[in-house]
A and B are shown apart, each in its own frame.
Chain A
Amino acid sequence: DIQMTQSPSSVSASVGDRVTITCRASQGIDIWLAWYQQKPGKAPKLLIYAASTLQSGVPSRFSGSGSGTDFTLTITSLQPEDFATYYCQQANAVPPTFGQGTRLQIK
């Protein structure tokens, strides 16, 4: 199975800040990586797929990059509604494994 490792596990930031979350795959997955946002008590929401393609309706302050084994999710100009937990997921092979999550908290 492909292991997905996110860092950091938790980050504190302020409204207006820029935040970067990284995700590393244990083997190459080309561009087949997705990012999800999850708020407490809610189902995850797809933000980005194919490493850098923004899902319809997702604000442009979210962006993704990377290929192979190393990927990043960047949120520029944090908004109050962005404080949530973020997960990466490889979509290259079954089982489609998730990272352990990154909790983005208000400083």
Chain B
Amino acid sequence: EVQLVESGGGLVQPGGSLRLSCAASGFTVSSNFMSWVRQPPGKGLEWVSVIYSGGGTHYADSVKGRFTISRHNSENTLYLQMNNLRAEDTAMYYCATGIKIYTLDYWGQGTLVTVSS
């Protein structure tokens, strides 16, 4: 059974950093594309980043240059390093993956990031 469990969210001041983790089980993170999707409180879904099985990455323009997606194959874990955080980065962050490219069959429960002074 595929499971994704996010952690690492919390309260951080503007300009600060956080690293989110997504522990995977039931499949190998290096064999699938893996994405981060976020949802500001009361708002819709926004795709953030993807890492492909081959290691290539893409980012939303809103986070490019500030966020870095990576994975640790032996730990079977996906990461999102978030630097220079802004108030508008406040959101629930979900990791997700799937079988067909960009289609998200499996989601974690989310981890909440709050950027506030």
Contact = CB atoms under 8 A, between A and B. Distances in A.
Interface of A: 1, 32, 34, 36, 38, 43-46, 49-50, 55, 87, 89-92, 94-101
Contacts, number: 61
Interface stretch (B16-24, B42-50, B66-74, B76-84): B42-50
Given A43-B108, A44-B107, A96 B102 contact: yes
B47 A50 contact: no
Please classify the interface of chain A as helix (H, G, I), strand (E, B), loop, or mixed, using the class held by over half of its residues: loop
A43 B101 CA distance: 19
29 contacts: A1-B61, A34-B104, A36-B45, A36-B104, A43-B107, A43-B108, A43-B110, A44-B45, A44-B104, A44-B107, A45-B107, A46-B103, A46-B104, A49-B100, A49-B105, A50-B103, A87-B44, A89-B47, A89-B102, A89-B104, A90-B102, A91-B100, A91-B101, A94-B50, A95-B60, A98-B44, A98-B47, A99-B44, A100-B44
B109 interface: yes
B94 A101 contact: no
B100 A46 contact: no
Interface residues of B, number: 23
Contacts of B103: 34, 46, 49-50, 89, 91
Contact of B58 (A36, A92, A95): A95
A94 B100 CA distance: 13
Tell me which of B96, B102, B108, B110 has the highest count of chain A C-beta atoms within 10 A of its own C-beta.
B102
6 nearest A-B residue pairs (beta carbon): A91-B102, A43-B107, A96-B102, A98-B45, A101-B44, A49-B103
B47 A96 contact: yes
A45 B109 CA distance: 11
A1 B64 CA distance: 14
Contacts of B108: 43
A101 B104 CA distance: 16
B105 A43 contact: no
